[in-house]
Amino acid sequence: MSIISEPIPLSVPHLAGNEWKYVKDCLDTGWVSSVGAYVNEFERKTAEWTGAAYAVATVNGTSALHIALRLAGVRAGDYVLLPNLTFVASANSISYTGAEPIFIDADPELWQMDLGLLESFLSEQTLFSDEGIVLRENGRRISAIMPVHVLGNLCDMDRLMSLAQRYGLEVVEDATEALGSWHGSRHAGTFGRMGCFSYNGNKIITTGGGGMIITDDEELARRAKHLTTQAKADSMEYFHDEIGHNYRLVNLLAAVGVAQMELLPEFIERRRRNAALYRQHLSQVEGIDFQQHLDGVRPNEWLFTLLSDRQKALLSGLQQRQIHARPFWVPMNRLPMYAAHRYVQQEDVSGRLYAQGLSLPSSSNLSDELVILVCEQIKSILQHG
């Protein structure tokens, strides 16, 4: 059964501007690798867009998170708090440092880390020590919180920051899905010590693969550049003063990033329109719920996702109709390598969001007609199976 001539993808790259021109410039001039004007320009544009003082490009979002955690002082044996409902890279970046993630359940409305659970965990299960706070049970240090701005939405970051301050915790924001999301006048990623973005192919802008660390701290920015470029400490000699990483973004890809940044305002507008159309055309449908946003939060609406108690039927029905839809991530506590880790929860909300969550086509090159067609197909599947 095919109603449409071509499949409707979930979220695909939209290369509609100066990408060819800037890549060609790299190829023509030979500036394809580690250094070049496009890396600097991509970093400058990102700092300007977010309002952060500094931006450091990386090879992907996961490496940005890894370096940011390291710079936040997260050490082997520490704990780091993060939401249970996230993409695996958030938890993996913590594991790379030798620290251990502690998973906090999701808020049923916002689908972000549940700050009530976070607060009661901090007040009931931790103690203050000379080193900062430690887990009451075993005396191991808790060093940081990693809020993840799931689907470009934000939790109450003021409350999260004041909890972090009260307990002396560093904040590294996984803002990989939140380029173009704001809370009041502040951009996602600028609340914590550092924030990280991703330019993977399915994100709101893409470089094929890429990432960025933003911060207001000059020394941290300098250290981030140093650690992502093998910690080379001399411009001539191969002298390296610590164990660094080869995590830099190459100029060729940064050229794509500069072109994509020029398109970002348009992309955000289109994604917000997709979401508004989905909400408008599906709000009357029984058994469908939407993600809520706090007052003052303007999400980028990167990937429109709804909840339905008939998620399985919708997934297979849409698949038959060549409309690409996806379930939410399997929550971290259900993955084999994290199943034995601490999971702070009362009602396993992440499990329910996983069972009911359905992401719908959200690319920035969709038309109104296609979004409405997806809505009509959803209604038809729910009515007739």
Ligand X SMILES: *Cc1c(COP(=O)(O)O)cnc(C)c1O
Sheet bearing 182-183, strands edge to edge: 186-187, 182-183, 297-298
Of the candidate spans 49-57, 60-68, 248-256, 262-270, the one that interacts with ligand X by CB under 6 A turns out to be: 60-68
Sheet bearing 305-308, strands edge to edge: 288-290, 305-308, 357-359, 326-327
Let me know: does 151 contact 299? Beta carbons within 8 Å.
yes
Please, which residue, 253 or 371, has the CB nearer to ligand X? Answer: 253
Is residue 177 part of the contact set for ligand X (CB under 6 A)? yes
Of the candidate spans 98-106, 171-179, 250-258, 274-282, the one that interacts with ligand X by CB under 6 A turns out to be: 171-179
Is residue 291 part of the contact set for ligand X (CB under 6 A)? no
Q: Tokens standing for 319?
A: 């698949």
Residue selected from 11, 46, 50, 60 as contacting ligand X according to rule CB under 6 A: 60
Burial of 239 (0-12, 13-18, 19+ CB in 10 A): exposed
CB of 197 to ligand X, least distance (A): 8
Residue selected from 11, 190, 200, 308 as contacting ligand X according to rule CB under 6 A: 200
CB of 174 to ligand X, least distance (A): 5
For the chain, the distance separating the N- and C-terminal CA atoms, rounded to the nearest angstrom, is 13
Is residue 61 part of the contact set for ligand X (CB under 6 A)? yes
Residue 120 DSSP symbol: H
207-226 positions binding ligand X, by CB under 6 A: 211
Please, which residue, 31 or 338, has the CB nearer to ligand X? Answer: 338
Please, which residue, 153 or 251, has the CB nearer to ligand X? Answer: 153
Q: Which amino acid belongs to residue 59?
A: V
Q: Which of helix, strand or coil describes residue 37?
A: helix
100-159 positions binding ligand X, by CB under 6 A: 148
Is residue 86 part of the contact set for ligand X (CB under 6 A)? yes
332-371 positions binding ligand X, by CB under 6 A: none
Is residue 180 part of the contact set for ligand X (CB under 6 A)? no
Please, which residue, 91 or 378, has the CB nearer to ligand X? Answer: 91
Residue selected from 50, 126, 176, 207 as contacting ligand X according to rule CB under 6 A: 176
Q: How far apart are CA 322 and CA 4, in angstroms?
A: 8
CB of 136 to ligand X, least distance (A): 29
List the one residue out of 160, 192, 165, 181 whose CA is nearest residue 64: 192
Provide the 10 A C-beta neighbour count for residue 272.
17
Q: Tell me the CA distances in angstroms from 107 to 116, 159, 204, 305, 309, one per residue in order.
A: 9, 14, 24, 15, 18
* Residue 290 CA neighbour count, 13 Å, CB half: 17
Please, which residue, 62 or 126, has the CB nearer to ligand X? Answer: 62
Q: How far apart are CA 164 and CA 162, in angstroms?
A: 5
Please, which residue, 190 or 200, has the CB nearer to ligand X? Answer: 200
Number of residues that bind ligand X (CB under 6 A): 14
Where along the sequence are the contacts to ligand X (CB under 6 A)? 60-62, 86-87, 89-90, 148, 174, 176-177, 198, 200, 211
